[in-house]
Structure 1
């Protein structure tokens, strides 16, 4: 078994079933497999060898999907790259991963042209006709050979290197083989009850582990129809659900927030939706409640995991939402989880400790980073760096990243709790809590608020609103108003940027 074989098997099972639709281009499973084989055999003809690293710097598209599965079929190791990165950031990833081949969208040619200098990249393939001298065109690489590539790929062969969000310092590349990612797919299929012939809408970036591993690969294995959006547009999302009768949706919390701002969102027919997933960043309970009202279904799933676990970790299912909204959930299939203290012992219910994970889906290592690997993988457990509690029923709740916890006047303040209250305020569109240096308290709890369109934030009124729901030391001492919050591709707020910016504002 390998990930490429999952696609090949579908040609026998349902060759004429619609597999992909993207920007007016559509492919049955037979056509999907042929497109992949044309590229895979073309890469082999260009001398690409099993085990070589192939970077993808592309927005969501049919070409991204073809390139990923072509790499899987010839035993190349896919390195999806965040297309929002600068040339210097991309250079680091290409160099650190030992990438030798890049496939990119035409708009990212200039970035790659600069980023590849001084790396092992020997050629670049551009979607469309390249403007950069020396780059190859995607169409020009394709082979006429539609047969399965003549390469033996086993489930133990490496499949992908996924770079972490890099919210602080340089990102690290989590290495996975075919078997690990296949199990990730099994876990999400079982936990979310995904069936054959679902209609999945892809909104979140495919270079991110959740959209790629949880839903694209598992969906291909099951014979789902994949509707792929190159960019996220709230109105186009609602239109696509209505037009394509989408059954399964996954999005990051910020996307749900934008969907809720569409004035006539309730007028769209969203009744085809069977399951709604969210994750990659904390989602405030108030935002979940409003989203449940919009989609008129209680079949919501909180997928609380991390890249290094596949992504995997814990899940809050629809039943859990009824009694434990706001919590992360319980371990997903094939996974063990704990909350431990500094000595590695399980904490008592309600006590805050570090969330750790063990499963066959956890990464093999951080690529070429042995010290970071040793600090993260200990005695078979993945130490996540997330602070959490566990209750008497075994439900785990993430409260903060270790590095983001605020200590004010000797009291620990966890940003997720305060942010959840801020999202309940009718004038707040988006919010983040950070700690800033304070001569009296050590750190002061500070809120960065994005108001809803046309709304005005009254600082005193907002503080009083928080004081009704939070202990005094948790109430923001300072409130900053911004037009938007800086986020990475996973939807996580880049709090280190906010801390740096607000320190300068105070100074």
Structure 2
């Protein structure tokens, strides 16, 4: 069988001579719906402050001027954003793009070491920081040689900021000073190579890699999603996605899902985004009620809470019209539970990767509830192959690795030729995910061929944790596997071969085993972001199973962990009640 073409084509033209900011602020694309002014593009959750497109343009221009005046930002310089969601997050991105700079967005819960790694890898020259992240940012910046005057803070009411400049102060200066820059203008085809983002994606062999995403990639993905939404045939009042709706911007902007699908697509499609900095279920429910939110892009852990948490029934969620879940599979059983609790809301799923600049499949917008168990339907513009281990093309209904091409595909990994050769092949992306595609072009994710764990939608490389755990004085050998978990999808569990000295101590004192396990878990917790921590616990084992070449046989330990979990023999059982 040949490659599988997504339905809904052909796509509208994708401009290849625009930066992302020009596409969003200055260009009128035929796929972009019209919305009557003065609609707000951004709404601050806590205050209700509304920012219109004219205000966005003014703030972007002034901030770009300040970046040039203060930092002398030039074409291809890299700026890091280290913050939870903020109403000025998109303003900062677009201001940097006016100057031709590249953005690298960082997880705000990163430790100093993790931030240092990202700053060093991307060669960032300045950092935009939330005040709550300032101490970590200052220490990481000092270590990599970024001076404190190249750190600017988002403005947050009630948080003391000391002597650091803020974005509002930058904008104030940018407004009053003469324009100091000539905007970046691209030649035809240049948007295919000029980098907009260096976005982190975990690998199977250690620390995260930076994905090189050119300007055309988010532009193309936004057009693909908008074109799919424009194919809705129901009357406007019955459509799931509507221009003029209010969308929820809760998913983190630093993640490719929040960056492209939430920030850029929703605004492009005429929605007003309520920007919510940090997830808290009750606060989210209050926000939906207060702002009459219609569209909620989410991840499976949030869906589980919507299904099961008793507080969901205490709030007026009648404004909800559409929910899209992504970043990890959502089971048919959970979809059924949610549809029974919120029957008026359409429910769909999508699948994407950082390497594909997000969306490969999209909810079936002609259906109130997407095909049970599916990750959505192939998005217009996507070409897909399903292949067996020998590279042979498979057909509809057959299980194999997904290989995809789309006009949104990223270019490569930064300074990592080997990983690039393995994933990016002649413009196609080898996803490492095992899927089935049916004749309706609905896709079902079966398993991951690669060894990455998916924890609450975030990728976790077992090798990264294993390398860190081997630095613990009581650890001789280790294998990290994913333990299935209803809330998080899966959580890391470490099988540890303890040292001879540790075994001797445990034989002398029955309480020593628990102390060593807690010490090992703390060793990870002190150095890694929360979703990388050993929520599945630590289990001691005599030897790690390996093949003759030394490759870890994770599948044997995954099966062992499942058996132990079913028998209630895990030393650290996961408590759903505690998470709720």
TM range (shorter): 0.7 to 0.9
Q: Which of these residues, 61, 76, 92, is aligned with residue 51 of structure 1?
A: 76
What is the alpha-carbon distance in structure 2 between the residues aligned to residue 403 and residue 477 of structure 1? 28
Check conservation: 2:204, 2:452, Cα contact below 8 A.
no
What is the alpha-carbon distance in structure 1 between the residues aligned to residue 390 and residue 118 of structure 2? 34
What is the alpha-carbon distance in structure 1 between the residues aligned to residue 452 and residue 255 of structure 2? 26
Match of residue 493 from structure 1: none
Q: CA deviation at 1:405?
A: 9.8
Q: Return closer, same or farther for 1:395/1:225 CA change in 2, 3 Å cut-off.
A: closer
Q: Which of these residues, 367, 370, 375, is aligned with residue 328 of structure 1?
A: 375
Check conservation: 1:162, 1:209, Cα contact below 8 A.
yes
Structure 2 counterpart SS, 1:4 = helix
Q: CA deviation at 1:297?
A: 3.0
Pairing of 1:396-415 with structure 2 (within 5 A): 396-404=443-451
Match of residue 499 from structure 1: none
Match of residue 150 from structure 1: 182
Q: CA deviation at 1:266?
A: 3.0
Structure 2 counterpart SS, 1:308 = coil
Does 1:8 find its partner at 2:25? yes
What is the alpha-carbon distance in structure 2 between the residues aligned to residue 253 and residue 322 of structure 1? 16
Match of residue 82 from structure 1: 107
Q: Return closer, same or farther for 1:477/1:331 CA change in 2, 3 Å cut-off.
A: farther
What is the alpha-carbon distance in structure 2 between the residues aligned to residue 224 and residue 170 of structure 1? 36
Match of residue 98 from structure 1: 123
How many pairs align? Answer: 448
Q: Which of these residues, 464, 467, 481, is aligned with residue 573 of structure 2?
A: 481
Q: Return closer, same or farther for 1:14/1:448 CA change in 2, 3 Å cut-off.
A: farther
Match of residue 167 from structure 2: 138
Does 1:17 find its partner at 2:17? no
Q: CA deviation at 1:14?
A: 6.0
Most deviating of 309-318 and 188-197: 188-197
Per-residue CA distance 1:91-134 (angstroms, 9 max, x = gap):
1111111111110011111111222245363521123598677x
Most deviating of 124-133 and 330-339: 124-133
Structure 1 counterpart SS, 2:43 = strand
Match of residue 351 from structure 2: 304
What is the alpha-carbon distance in structure 1 between the residues aligned to residue 282 and residue 77 of structure 2? 40
Per-residue CA distance 1:241-277 (angstroms, 9 max, x = gap):
2222212110111112223343242343323223210
Structure 2 counterpart SS, 1:99 = coil
Does 1:125 find its partner at 2:152? yes
Q: Which of these residues, 56, 60, 68, is aligned with residue 32 of structure 1?
A: 56
Match of residue 497 from structure 1: none
What is the alpha-carbon distance in structure 1 between the residues aligned to residue 452 and residue 264 of structure 2? 35
Per-residue CA distance 1:450-471 (angstroms, 9 max, x = gap):
xxxxxxxxx99x67xxxxxxxx
Check conservation: 2:348, 2:369, Cα contact below 8 A.
no
Report the TM-score when normalising by structure 2: 0.69
What is the alpha-carbon distance in structure 2 between the residues aligned to residue 53 and residue 130 of structure 1? 27
Check conservation: 2:77, 2:125, Cα contact below 8 A.
yes
Check conservation: 2:360, 2:379, Cα contact below 8 A.
yes
Match of residue 86 from structure 2: 61
Q: CA deviation at 1:89?
A: 0.9
In the alignment, structure 2 segments of 5+ residues that lack a partner are 1-17, 29-33, 231-240, 454-480, 496-543, 547-552
Check conservation: 1:125, 1:136, Cα contact below 8 A.
yes
Pairing of 1:330-479 with structure 2 (within 5 A): 330-391=377-438, 393-404=440-451, 432=490, 442-443=556-557, 445-446=559-560
Q: Return closer, same or farther for 1:323/1:258 CA change in 2, 3 Å cut-off.
A: closer
Report the TM-score when normalising by structure 1: 0.78
Structure 1 counterpart SS, 2:88 = helix
Q: Which of these residues, 174, 179, 182, is aligned with residue 211 of structure 2?
A: 174
Check conservation: 1:15, 1:29, Cα contact below 8 A.
no
What is the alpha-carbon distance in structure 1 between the residues aligned to residue 290 and residue 162 of structure 2? 39
Most deviating of 318-327 and 118-127: 318-327
